[in-house]
């Protein structure tokens, strides 16, 4: 309980009695001394103010000034002390005890007998309250002055009283109105026919309003379905009854004000609940989309998800909410388990999101794709080598075959390698082992010793079988020892042996095929491979440029195109200084390098279109060489 002999409490009580925050110091000291001497015999705590009152006043007012609870002013050589929070304290007191003030209209300057300056007020209309709730002020000042309809006096309220305390006061005022002059029975008889079949709900809500108003407040704020049906009918019934009267009593004015306030909040919370349901449905749709093929998504992909009606999900939740949702799903997890959403980084450094439950199906799909691509590329490579009556270490030793296979898969399906190198894959396998649906042996990626299975085992590619298949494709005399030895001797005179692959290099089918192609052949290959039949190289380049260069400002579009062309020319010039003849693998690696080394390009949406644009631009430049 507050000490009533505290100087700040005494000053506030004195200011309220005189309806002003400014207190003349000399009259106040005289009052305080007289009051203390009068009550000290019965209340000893007042003794400290009964003697040497002036000295004690100045000693205790100084800390209040330092704490900015009060200010000292000099007016015509008379000292004044001004209480900084006087107006907020006066208004706050009304809303602290809603039951006590239930029969009175909401406070205004007249009823409080105060006069507020314009800089202390923020005037809004009642129907603008939802806009205010979307961006409420954080401080108590300026005080809100809310204008009603129907010529009712504007009310005063503090920012921190909205919405909870304001709604609470409104509910108490309506309850008190219903308790008087048989209004309760009248409203009940009006509502029951309007909500046929819901009589018990109507009676229950009126009972709650009469005995537990705060339960009604909870229902409104938290989206009770029946609350949004009941309250508009109740408010309409009370308004209809009160508007028929020529003159309203103070209690009826209070009820009418309360009805208007509740109507605003009911529709506000109803709309809020509808948006929340829409948002929850949108996130459920997002969750379903993450669970569908292709199972792997960048953040840019996720921002472009649509619902079943073709509407953007990002219009149903904000970018900030999406980021929070992904962060929550990627961080929260049950004990001894990984989160449901896992984040990796692709070759371009972008975050990619994969549902934990889809990791192994995704790996199985990628392994299937990699097997076909690697088998085809290695077959072409080895057939070309065999035709030259030559061999390479990968044909003879399993460890070299594993290394070569890794390089091909890393170049063609880098996502698979990223997933296989991640240690979380083993933890997921362990989780599934202890679940109700353990993985079959054929789907496991790790041995019982927690070692990742060799890529040859995962792809089911055996060196000897592949080499045998390649030899079958060649005429039998290639493998007659005497004939093949003689031909090989003449073919290899003065010819360098192909070097092994570097562990860090990236390779694809074209780079592994042996001799380098000429620029003309390379350009012809790219035109056949990438350019649609009915398009020319130049027209297709313009189409690709339109895909990745989605900038509204025309000048910015032209500048970006110029910057990209400069990057390509500089990179190509440096590369040609080292090697005048470029193969397909070098060109594609150059395109990847340009994107990776340029942060602004990495942020673009259509990176695949940009990569293809760079490759074809290089081909076009080589054509002119």
Cα–Cα dist 60/74, whole Å: 18
Cβ neighbour number for residue 526 with a 10 Å cutoff: 21
**Nearest-angstrom CA–CA distance, 239 and 260:** 9
537-575 pLDDT, tens digit per residue, is 888 788 777 777 665 556 666 677 787 888 888 877 777
Cα 605 from chain centroid (whole Å): 18
125-152 average pLDDT score: 87
Name the nearest CA neighbour of 322 among 350, 339, 301, 308: 301
Q: Give residues with Cβ within 8 angstroms of 234, minimum separation 6.
A: 174, 187, 191
Mean per-residue pLDDT over the chain, rounded:
84
Q: Residue 499: pLDDT band by 50, 70, 90 thresholds?
A: very low
Q: What are phi and psi of 298, to 5 degrees?
A: -85, 170
pLDDT at 142 exceeding the cut of 80: yes
How does pLDDT run across 474-494, given as a tens digit for each residue?
765 555 554 445 455 545 544
> What is d(CA 184, CA 177) in angstroms, rounded to the nearest whole number?
8
SS3 47: helix
| pLDDT reading at 119 higher than 90 | no
Cis peptide before 142 (omega within 30 of 0): yes
- The reported pLDDT for the residue numbered 87 is 93
CA dihedral 571, 573, 576, 578 (to 10 degrees): -80
3-state secondary structure of 290: helix
Residue 205 buriedness (CB in 10 A; 0-12 / 13-18 / 19+): buried
Question: What pLDDT is attached to residue 622?
Answer: 77
Best CA proximity match to 88, nearest among 100, 96, 80: 96
| 3-class secondary structure, 242 | helix
Decide if pLDDT at 369 tops 50: yes
DSSP reduced 3-state for 392? coil
Span 426-469, pLDDT tens digits = 999 998 888 877 888 878 899 888 899 999 999 999 999 998 88
Residue 265 banded pLDDT, cuts 50, 70, 90 = very high
**What is residue 106's predicted lDDT score, i.e. its pLDDT?**
96
The percentage of residues in the chain with a pLDDT greater than 90, rounded to a whole number, is: 42
Percent of the chain with pLDDT over 70: 87
Model pTM? Answer: 0.63
Q: How much is the pLDDT for 221?
A: 85
């Amino acid at each position: 309980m507050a000490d009533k002999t505290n100087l700040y409490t005494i000053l506030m009580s004195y200011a309220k009695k005189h309806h002003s925050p400014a207190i003349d110091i000399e009259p106040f000291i005289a009052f305080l001394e007289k009051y203390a001497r009068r009550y000290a015999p019965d209340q000893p705590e007042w003794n400290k103010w009964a003697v040497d009152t002036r000295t004690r006043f100045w000693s205790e007012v100084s800390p209040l000034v330092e704490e900015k609870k009060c200010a000292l002013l000099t007016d015509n050589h008379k000292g004044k002390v001004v209480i900084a929070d006087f107006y907020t304290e006066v208004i706050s007191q009304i809303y602290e005890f809603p039951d006590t003030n239930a029969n009175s209209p909401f406070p205004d300057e007249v009823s409080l007998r105060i006069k507020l300056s314009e800089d202390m007020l923020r005037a809004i209309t009642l129907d603008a309250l939802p806009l205010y709730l979307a961006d409420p002020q954080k401080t108590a000042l300026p005080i809100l002055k809310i204008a009603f309809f129907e010529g009712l006096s504007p009310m005063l309220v503090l920012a921190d009283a909205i919405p909870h305390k304001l709604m609470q006061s409104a509910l108490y005022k309506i309850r008190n109105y219903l308790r008087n002059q048989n209004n309760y029975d009248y409203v009940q008889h009006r509502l029951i026919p309007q909500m046929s079949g819901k009589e018990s709900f109507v009676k229950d809500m009126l009972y709650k309003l009469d005995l537990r108003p705060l339960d009604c407040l909870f229902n409104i704020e938290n989206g009770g379905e029946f609350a949004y049906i009941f309250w508009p009918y109740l408010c309409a019934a009370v308004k209809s009854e009160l508007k028929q009267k020529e003159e309203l009593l103070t209690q009826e004015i209070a009820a009418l004000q309360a009805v208007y306030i509740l109507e605003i909040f009911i529709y506000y919370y109803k709309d809020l609940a509808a948006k929340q349901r829409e948002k929850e449905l949108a996130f459920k749709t997002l969750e379903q989309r993450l669970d569908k093929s292709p199972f792997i998504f960048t953040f840019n992909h996720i921002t472009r998800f649509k619902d079943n009606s073709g509407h953007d999900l990002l219009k149903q939740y904000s970018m900030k909410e999406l980021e929070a949702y992904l962060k929550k799903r990627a961080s929260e997890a049950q004990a001894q388990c990984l989160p449901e959403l896992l984040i990796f980084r692709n070759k371009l450094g972008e975050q990619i999101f994969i549902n934990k439950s889809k990791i192994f199906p995704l790996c199985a799909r990628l392994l299937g794709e990699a097997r076909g691509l690697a088998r085809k590329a290695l077959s072409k490579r080895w057939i070309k080598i065999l035709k030259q009556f030559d061999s390479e270490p990968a044909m003879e030793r399993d460890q070299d075959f594993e290394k070569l296979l890794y390089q091909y898969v890393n170049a063609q399906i880098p996502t698979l390698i990223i997933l296989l190198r991640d240690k979380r894959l083993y933890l997921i396998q362990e989780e599934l082992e202890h679940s109700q649906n353990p993985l079959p042996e054929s789907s496991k990626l790790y041995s019982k010793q927690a070692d990742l299975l060799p890529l040859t085992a995962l792809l089911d590619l055996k060196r000897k079988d592949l080499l045998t298949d390649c030899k079958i494709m060649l005429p039998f005399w290639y493998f007659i020892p005497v004939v093949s030895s003689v031909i090989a001797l003449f073919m290899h005179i003065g010819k360098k042996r192909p070097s092994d692959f570097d562990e860090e290099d990236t390779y694809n089918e074209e780079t592994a095929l042996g001799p380098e192609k000429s620029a003309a052949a390379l350009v012809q290959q790219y035109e056949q491979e990438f350019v649609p039949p009915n398009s020319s190289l130049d027209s297709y380049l313009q189409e690709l440029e339109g895909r990745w260069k989605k900038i509204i400002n025309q000048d910015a579009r032209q500048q970006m195109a110029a910057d990209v062309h400069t990057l390509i020319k500089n990179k190509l010039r440096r590369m040609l200084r080292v090697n005048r003849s470029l193969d397909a693998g070098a060109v594609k690696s150059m395109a990847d390098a340009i994107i990776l080394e340029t942060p602004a390009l990495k942020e673009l949406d259509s990176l695949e279109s940009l990569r293809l644009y760079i490759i074809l631009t290089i081909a076009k430049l080589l054509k002119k060489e």
